[in-house]
Amino acid sequence: MELVVTVVMLLFAIVVSNVLDHVFPRLPLTLIQIGLGAALALLPMHISLTMNPEVFMALIIAPLLFREAEETDLASLWRLKRPVILMAFLLVFITVFAIGLSAHWLVPAIPLAACFALGAILGPTDVVTVSSLTSRIKLNDNVMHLLLGEGLINDASGLIAFRFSVAALLTGAFSVFSASLDLLYSSAVGALVGLALIAVKQRVVVGLRRLSVENTAAFMLLEFLMPFLSYLVAELLGVSGILAAVAAGSRQALYFKRTELFEAEFGATQHTLWDMATFTLNSIVFLLLGLQLPEVIRHIWENQAYDHVFLLFCVTVLTLILMAVRFLSVLFIANTAMGAALREKLKNTLVITLSGVKGAVSLATAFALPLVLVNGQPFAERPLLLFLTGGVIILSLLLAMFFIPLLAHTRIGEQERDPMGDILRETVAQLRAQDGVDNGAVITHYLRRIHQLEHAEYGREDKKGLRALRREYFQVELQALKERFRAGEINQYAYRDYKELLSVIHRRLARNILYGAAARLRQIKWLLTHLRRPATRAKQEVLMRKRRHELRDSFVTNTELVLAYLEGKRGEYPPLLVDTLLEERRELAEKMRQGFHGGVLVNRLHRARDDEMLRGYYVERRVIHQFLERGAITQAQANGMRLQVNKLETFTLAHNKDSEEVLKLISLISRRPL
């Protein structure tokens, strides 16, 4: 039961981290998830999960590396094969000796072989962590490919170096020649295992398809099985399971896909499920890292035998040595791939240096350190090595999080404005220009997409300005309502209804809930009145329908006043904010024209609305093609936008059948004809 509770809490923490990432966009998601993991470890419930290195590698790291390899640009990696191989193997062994000798110099009580094990733990970079850190920034293409290629391969060299260091610690024997041969054998055979298993899998798929067995779910499960199978078979043979998973993913990327209906269905399902799986596994990596760190740190921090200041000094020195060795090595190993100018070379080298972060893979490897030595004595320095590992992980992560964005070419959010907004606006304009066609529902859909797209691009100052402008036009509309009431143009019921509507639209969520609760109480009171006096029910319904129509007409009429006021604010506020509120008001007016409550739901579910949405998607595709022809967007951008339209169209077509069932239910409940 404890395992179930832990898994549920981890999944809940993933959801919370995603929410916090959107609330605090400047705070790295990695740091949020590590913090949440640490918070879970400190809860009174004592949530814990033993980090078994073999289980961690097989269930989390293997599928992540498989997917990374499958999506990798293999041509670019092959072009950079020399620096990638040198960074994945030579740099790891240089790091092992540099960190091992430095750690033994700082703390002579730690055996030299154990210090080399620490170097092997900290030698490989964590490709999962690197991918997470660079997801919001744009780096040089060579830099990205070098980091990815290094991260995919260097786990094998690090684990082999770790295994030989631990063997030397336990037996006192070490052979460079044996280690080199073992590394070569383990890497080569591990890669061959992955390639062979994928070849067998593809043969099986071809055979099944010849027998007309085309089951998307079964084939998807077979694909998910491949990284685990590759890792386990390779480990059973005593070779690198990590390289087996990477080789399998790389070979999978070379699979020739035919343009057929089944391939299209399978491809859509594959991308969706892998995206969900990789996001979940990535999040679990950092949550587990945060979950383990408090215990690692507390074990040493509460021990009075250690000088806390000296331990922090050791962590800082080891991190700086790690960075210095990496900087100098990359400067020589990958000099030609770093750019032409000296300034560019140094900048890209520094980015790669800071990107050599350590993560949960390093911590999981550290937990594989032996508890006892060959002589039966406990390995007393094991907690200290765990502490040093955890400290270097945290410090390297912090350095990367705060300095890589400063050195990157651009942040994702600081790039040129997304052309998708202009395409959606042009689509709305063309839909409005169609004479004799009712496009109200589809225009509302596109206005909502425009609003969501623009809201995602706002900074803190933009959101503040948006709130200020919204408050201004709320006061203007409210003042106009009061003047109409004083002049006798509307009665007290219309005044109260309209004022409540404005409050619901403009006030915050908490007040919306209160207004919604008050409206529900009035509806309950109205229903109780009907039960007591059935004869007045028809009269009451006519009165309520009249009040609703008056409210709708007033809102639509006042929309012209609001739009004119907002147009006059263009010189005072940024045009983007004014355009956002203009579109928002037009969308609200469109909803009011469509009707209220159940009427809106029926309109949304009706089959005619689905046909209208399909017409809108046709127009959007045409606009995308027009933008591509005049060079406003690239071919890659156009392909991505067309893929979005395809997804929306697929959902609409699938939604059509469900809508018919809901419409029947509404008709039965309300006795409203379809």
Residue type, 207: G
Q: Do the Cβ atoms of 362 and 151 come closer than 8 Å?
A: no
Q: Which residues pair with 411 in a beta bridge?
A: 137
Mean pLDDT of the chain: 77
3-state secondary structure of 178: helix
Judged against a pLDDT cut of 70, whether residue 334 lies above it is answered with: yes
Residue type, 546: K
Between 129 and 7, the more confident residue is 7
Which residue matches tokens 């030698």?
123
Instruction: Flag the least confident range among 134-148, 294-308, 619-633.
Output: 134-148
pLDDT of residue 316: 94
- Cα–Cα distance measured from residue 665 to residue 531, given in angstroms and rounded to the nearest whole number: 24
- Cα–Cα distance measured from residue 318 to residue 568, given in angstroms and rounded to the nearest whole number: 61
pLDDT of residue 318: 93
pLDDT of residue 343: 78
Q: Which band of pLDDT confidence, cut at 50, 70 and 90, is reported for residue 413?
A: very low
Residue extent(s) of CATH 1.20.1530.20 domains in the chain: 2-414
Q: Which band of pLDDT confidence, cut at 50, 70 and 90, is reported for residue 412?
A: very low
| CA nearest neighbour of 101 among 86, 89, 118, 84 | 118
Q: Output the CA–CA distances (angstroms, integers) from residue 278 to 68, 156, 400, 427, 517, in the order listed.
A: 9, 21, 22, 34, 41
Provide the whole-model pTM: 0.70
Judged against a pLDDT cut of 60, whether residue 664 lies above it is answered with: no
Between 455 and 89, the more confident residue is 89
- Cα–Cα distance measured from residue 319 to residue 312, given in angstroms and rounded to the nearest whole number: 11
Residue type, 326: R
pLDDT of residue 405: 77
Q: Output the CA–CA distances (angstroms, integers) from residue 569 to 421, 466, 472, in the order listed.
A: 21, 12, 10
| Percent of the chain clearing pLDDT 90 (strictly above) | 7
Determine the topology of domain 2-414 in CATH.
Na+/H+ antiporter like fold (1.20.1530)
pLDDT digits (tens, 9 = 90+) for 39-59: 888 877 767 677 677 888 888
pLDDT digits (tens, 9 = 90+) for 421-452: 888 888 888 888 877 666 667 777 787 787 77
- Other Cβ atoms closer than 10 A to 140: 18
Q: Do the Cβ atoms of 283 and 35 come closer than 8 Å?
A: no
- Cα–Cα distance measured from residue 330 to residue 334, given in angstroms and rounded to the nearest whole number: 5
Q: Which band of pLDDT confidence, cut at 50, 70 and 90, is reported for residue 549?
A: confident
Q: For 383, phi and psi rounded to 5 degrees?
A: -60, -35
- Other Cβ atoms closer than 10 A to 241: 31
Give the tokens for residue 155: 């786990």
Give the tokens for residue 425: 């606006």
Exposed / middle / buried, residue 99 (Cβ in 10 Å: 0-12, 13-18, 19+): buried
Which residue matches tokens 């990789």?
278
pLDDT digits (tens, 9 = 90+) for 226-241: 999 999 999 999 888 8
pLDDT of residue 320: 93
Query: In sequence order, which ranges of 302-438 are alpha helices (DSSP H)?
Result: 308-333, 342-354, 360-366, 382-407, 420-432
- Cα–Cα distance measured from residue 633 to residue 186, given in angstroms and rounded to the nearest whole number: 47
pLDDT of residue 603: 45
Residue type, 108: P
Query: In sequence order, which ranges of 214-335 are alpha helices (DSSP H)?
Result: 216-236, 241-253, 261-301, 308-333
pLDDT of residue 313: 93
Highest mean pLDDT among 317-326, 334-343, 365-374, 541-550: 317-326
Q: Which band of pLDDT confidence, cut at 50, 70 and 90, is reported for residue 261?
A: low
Q: Do the Cβ atoms of 457 and 610 come closer than 8 Å?
A: no
pLDDT digits (tens, 9 = 90+) for 508-521: 433 444 445 555 55
Q: Output the CA–CA distances (angstroms, integers) from residue 21 to 10, 282, 452, 623, in the order listed.
A: 16, 15, 17, 33
Give the tokens for residue 618: 């046709």
- Other Cβ atoms closer than 10 A to 28: 23
Q: Do the Cβ atoms of 645 and 617 come closer than 8 Å?
A: yes
pLDDT of residue 669: 46
- Cα–Cα distance measured from residue 357 to residue 68, given in angstroms and rounded to the nearest whole number: 17
